[in-house]
Chains A and B, each alone.
Chain A
Amino acid sequence: MSRSQRLAIKYLTAAIAFFGVMTLSGLLSAIYYINPDFLFGLLHFNIAKILHIDTLIIWLVMGFMGAIYWFLPEEFGREPVGIWVAEILFWVFVAAVLVVAAIFVLIQWGPGTESTLWLVQQGRKYVEAPRWAAIGVALVLLVFAWNVVGTALKAKHVTGIMAVLSVNMVPLVLLYFIAFPAIPDMAADLYWWWWLVHLWVEATWEILIGCIMALAVMQLLGTSRRIVEGWLYIEVMLVLGTGILGLGHHYFWIGTPDYWLGIGGFFSALEPLPLLGMVVHAVYDAGTHRMKTTNRPAFYWTLAEAFGNFLGGGVFGFMITLPQLNLFAHGTQWTVSHGHFAFWGAYACGVISVCYLALQKARDQAVVEGRAWMLSFSLLNFGLLGMVGSLLVSGIVQAFFERAIGGSTLDAFIAVQGNPWFMLGMYARLGFGIIFAAGYVTLVWDLAMLGRRAATVLAAPAPAE
């Protein structure tokens, strides 16, 4: 393995570890809805939620970085430029995340001053980490971009995938700087904050995962580069063609001009179209390989990515994206339902797929098979579907009774939070969350044991023609 690939394994390992923190803090967050006195005076919902959503971003970013560091040397035919800096920064990154988590748990908040923002808590969703940590993350991202772009600039030949990845690095990294300002005007604060969040998860991250999946599919199915690159360009065109102005679906209610209702609603309504194309493509790939490869877990997780992205982002998004409907669903558990499903389908499944692919090579396995991967695949997806369905029930109740009928006051909010169907959703969400957590544990065990048990290399079905 090259240095870059060894670094990749470290990043993928850290990613899976933080995936665990996300799962644990998710369970914690769910408990508060059931037991309102839980840890009162010690640790409150907002801290549990911060741990949950911040580790979501961290584990996925580390997963992307691991995937890219894994594929870079083969794509460029050389070790990436500046890999030694990236090796050092990996430990800095992990240490910073752990220190920030400790600060969140043990210190939690500070007085309303700039020094709190620098040292303790910035209190903007997903980017709550204090500014000293945000500087660290920015540094990590800049070096990551340098590893990719710097190598591309020096390389004799740059593949189409690497060209897309390199260009994509620029907005990806620049957008992160929106994590720093504290704008007093909430309308302006949210306007720019949404550039970071949406243009990450519904634009530059889509391109990033597209590049990763392109590289994965070439390795997993032996698909030709020319085919994969053609599809990557089509995906970039359609996803950015709908997603850049689809940003407007966050600009309905935050004090922005009302032309965003039309623009945001229209482009957002188009966003599911390319996702259907991806589903059809996945069916084609699955069928032509008759569901057989030398790495079935990687393949199944890739399929889950295509279907999950469509269902979570496309179906669940379309229910609530038109402005005249979003007016009722906005800021309810319906949003939570969509968010969990979309993040899972669009990103988590893809990162897990790459973990299996990378480990197959790292542990020198001709075939990856077994029962554990099937169990974790089932538990994780069943758990996730259950959570999402539970949140949908609670969300619909909330949108209907609190917003459409109840007048959105404090009393309406409280009444609905106690509604039996709402509470049923909250209990069910916790139950399915526990199933999801069991799936996580099984996944960790399977990844840890891959290639280290005789059972993994059993008499697998013959690989595809």
Chain B
Amino acid sequence: MQYEDPIFWRAGAIATTVVMAVVLGFLTIDSVAIIAPGGSHVPEYTVINRHIGYANDPKLGRDMPIIGKDEPLFGKAVDAAEAERLIVKGKLVIQSRACIDCHTFMGNGAYFAPDLTKAWLDPAWAVWQAITGADSKEAAMVAFLMEPEKYATWERKMPNLGISREEAVATVAYLKWMSAIDTNGFPIHFGQITVSH
């Protein structure tokens, strides 16, 4: 009987694998353009010169990043080449310190430390602005990254990872850029406390 012949199922295995792989290939070609900087879901690196927000879009029924007016980091706008340099450096810092093995990025990583997807938008930075005496959120973030053990606000402290000022600035730029990625609404209702029924 045909169904009892392994050759029948071998043909099924080959056909299924090939079809699925081809579909994955086509979807990848499409996705790669969308996830590149400047694609529909991922902003150009120069977005770090702008104000970033996050709010519900009633038409889409989910939360979306909102790119606003000019708001450069440290009051100094950067061109595309400098923005890219900062992002490349920031990513090298993130990898060299294995941040993803304590934190999550868009929910991927380790769960010991907070998710950093919208860290740029976190209201807690107001506290750090106060305790570091910094004159801006980004300056507070830089101060924290350089000496996290000095500005701990919780019993679970971030260790000092020898992050230099240049590296800290690049990391902050990275976090600001990352907060502007359209993640299809993750995390949901960031910053808002929901009363559930």
Contacts and interface: CB of A to CB of B under 8 A. Distances in A.
B92 A112 contact: yes
A187 interface: yes
Contacts of A123: 94-101
Given A160-B10, A182-B95, A240 B188 contact: no
A234 B11 CA distance: 10
Interface string B72-98: 000000000000100111111111111
Contacts of A110: 96
Interface residues of B, number: 86
B16 A240 contact: yes
Contacts of A46: 98-99, 101-102, 110, 112
Interface in B121-163: 122-124, 154-157, 159-162
Contacts of B189: 407-408
Contact of B35 (A37, A237, A256): A256
A186 interface: yes
A247 B31 CA distance: 13
A112 B96 contact: yes
Contacts of B16: 237, 240-241
Contacts of B41: 187, 255-257
A327 B186 contact: yes
B111 A331 contact: yes
A187 B181 contact: yes
B96 A188 contact: no
Contact of B96 (A117, A244, A331): A117
Nearest to A241: B16
A116 interface: yes
13 contacts: A112-B93, A121-B96, A123-B95, A125-B110, A187-B42, A230-B5, A233-B13, A245-B23, A253-B183, A256-B41, A327-B186, A407-B190, A408-B190
Interface of A: 32-33, 36-37, 40-41, 44-47, 49-50, 109-114, 116-117, 120-125, 128, 160, 164, 182-191, 226, 229-230, 233-234, 236-237, 240-241, 244-245, 247, 251-261, 263, 327-328, 330-333, 335-336, 398, 403-414, 417
Given A260-B31, A408-B188, 17 more contacts: A36-B155, A117-B95, A125-B101, A125-B110, A184-B91, A188-B32, A189-B91, A234-B9, A234-B12, A237-B13, A240-B17, A254-B106, A255-B35, A256-B34, A259-B27, A332-B111, A409-B190
